[in-house]
Structure 1
Amino acid sequence: MKLIGSFTSPYVRKVRVVMAEKKLDFSFEQENVWAPETTIQQVNPLGKIPCLVMEDGSTLFDSRVIAEYLDTVSPVCKLLPSNGRDRTEVKVWEALADGVLDAAVLVFMERRDRAPELQSAKWIERQMNKVHAGLREMSARLGDSPHCMGVPYTLADVAVGCALGWLAFRFPEIDWRGAYPNLARLFDKLSERASFRDTVPFVA
């Protein structure tokens, strides 16, 4: 399998963490989807990463789709419960974490790509409200539990850990550690795992 992505994308990181936890062999191809010479649409018509190229040449895209598929490939470190209610709860956690990222990524791109006088303060505020609301909800759901789903380590933790890691990387001004000590404890615990240590985002 070949994973196409970047070292800064939190969605790509989620897939890389899953692959590491599942102990799956794959090659990694870095792709800048914003570069004029990008070829990403040859494998993903939406022009997004991550994209997983299978052994037969077929492709999977969207981190949630890829992660769910990968969990079926190997019995090692089962990340999605088979039980319907628990499985759905893990997917809700993932949607929540990805939703925080979706809003934060939009703000990052608005600030990066538009001149200050062209940026919409109202639109940025709307997106940041989603980020803060999502963080509050994650903290409330986590409570005093060691992991998102209680005792077991699941895809919910992977998604939340990648979201928090990207916020620390791109939005250091957001003091989620001080505001939500339980999220900080979870993130520190996750950061001790080899899968997280080996996938810390950086600009190549």
Structure 2
Amino acid sequence: MASCKRSSGNHANDPLLARMHGLFGIPAMKLFYSPTSPYARKCLAAAIEKGIEGDIALLTVSPMASTAELLAVNPLSKVPALVLPDGRSIIDSRVICQHIDGIAASPRLIPADPAARIDCLTREAQADGINDAAFSLTMERKRPAEQQSPDWIERWIAAISRSVAYFDGRVPHRERPDLGDIALACALGYLDLRHGALDWRASTPNIASWFAAISARPSLARTAPPPG
């Protein structure tokens, strides 16, 4: 079990978490995590942006292994899964990130304004959709060549290309990234990890420049997936 770097954080919205951290100096939550998962990376990056990464212990697991420990918190055998101080578990990166955003009052990753909130969460969903297509493409290409579906491969590549182009025409200009921005950065990083041959930067220079800049943020630099 590895722990993220400790931070003082702001625990006003979770007194139990604050008490455990203050009295014992130990992480109060556990995140089941894979360093190559863009969904898990999004959650950890969100925690770093919020300054609460010291309250989270990382349990690195392989979802494909379906260990008893992971199945106990998520019968789907998927990461991320977050175990709270009271033993309850939260699954799905979007739900986990909403919980993380609610622990500390600031900085906000999900805007309070209703219209801005919907925009942020829509961009998060679009970015997660890139991950979904990219993961499906990864798994399809692991099948024997004669069993692969050219139609599905073409469909997933097209979905990825359209989505990246969509963001290229809507480059963020926020002083501080919101959850939609973090999700997009994690998705583009996953494309680099698994599908470098797609060369997504060639046709989307605007979002490529944005990605280079945001990748230098500590939350993304520290959570970058291992090469290969």
Task: Tell me: CA distance 1:96–1:154, structure 2 relative to 1, closer, same or farther (3 Å).
Answer: same
**Deviation of 1:152 (Å):** 4.4
1:34 aligns to what SS in structure 2? helix
1:193 maps to 2:222: no
Q: 1:159 aligns with which of 183, 199, 206?
A: 183
Q: Which runs of 5+ in 1 are unaligned?
A: none
* Correspondence 1:38-77 to 2 at 5 A: 39-77=69-107
Give the 3-state SS of the residue equivalent to 1:89 in structure 2.
helix
- 1:36-57 Cα offsets, whole Å, 9 max, x none, are 6454221012221100000000
Deviation of the 1:203 alpha carbon: 6.4
2:203 corresponds to which letter in structure 1?
A: A
| Pair 1:98-2:128 in alignment | yes
| 2-structure distance, mates of 1:131, 1:178 | 14
Separation (CA, whole Å) in 1 of partners of 2:56 and 2:43: 11
Which residue does 2:159 correspond to in 1? 130
SS in 1 for 2:123: helix
Cα distance, 1:146 vs. partner?
A: 2.4
Q: CA deviation at 1:129?
A: 1.2
Give % identity. 37
Runs of 4 or more consecutive aligned structure 1 residues displaced over 6 Å after TM superposition:
none
Which structure has more relative contact order (CA 8 Å, sep 6+)? It is 1
**Alpha-carbon distance in 2 for matches of 1:51, 1:162:** 17
The 3-state SS of whatever aligns with 2:86 is coil
Query: Separation in 2 of the partners of 1:53 and 1:5?
Result: 11
SS in 2 for 1:141: coil
Give runs of aligned pairs for residues 144-183 of structure 1, distance below 5 A: 145-147=172-174, 151-183=175-207
Report if aligned partners of 2:193, 2:227 keep a CA contact under 8 Å in 1: no
Task: Identify the residue that residue 120 of structure 1 maps to in structure 2.
Answer: 149
Q: How does 1:4-83 map to 2 (within 5 A)?
A: 4-24=32-52, 25-35=55-65, 37=67, 39-83=69-113
How far apart are 1:161 and its partner, in Å?
A: 0.4
- What is the rounded CA distance, in whole Å, between the counterparts of 1:136 and 1:71 in structure 2? 28
Q: Specify the code of the residue in structure 1 equivalent to 2:89.
A: T
Alignment coverage as a number of residue pairs: 198
2 CA distance for matches of 1:38 and 1:106?
Answer: 25
- Letter of the aligned partner of 1:178 in structure 2? A
Distance 1:157 1:48, change over 3 A: same
Structure 1 vs Structure 2 CA RMSD: 1.6
Q: Is the 8 A contact 1:8 1:203 kept in 2?
A: no
Q: In 2, distance between residues paired with 1:36 and 1:60?
A: 17
Distance, in Å, in 2 between the alignment partners of 1:23 and 1:49 is 22
Report deviation, 1:160. Answer: 0.5
Letter in 1 for 2:224: V
Larger-Rg structure? 2
Distance 2:69 2:30 in 1: 15
What is the TM-score normalised by the length of structure 2? 0.83
List gaps (5 residues or longer) in structure 2. Answer: 1-28
Preserved CA contact (<8 Å) 1:21 1:76: no
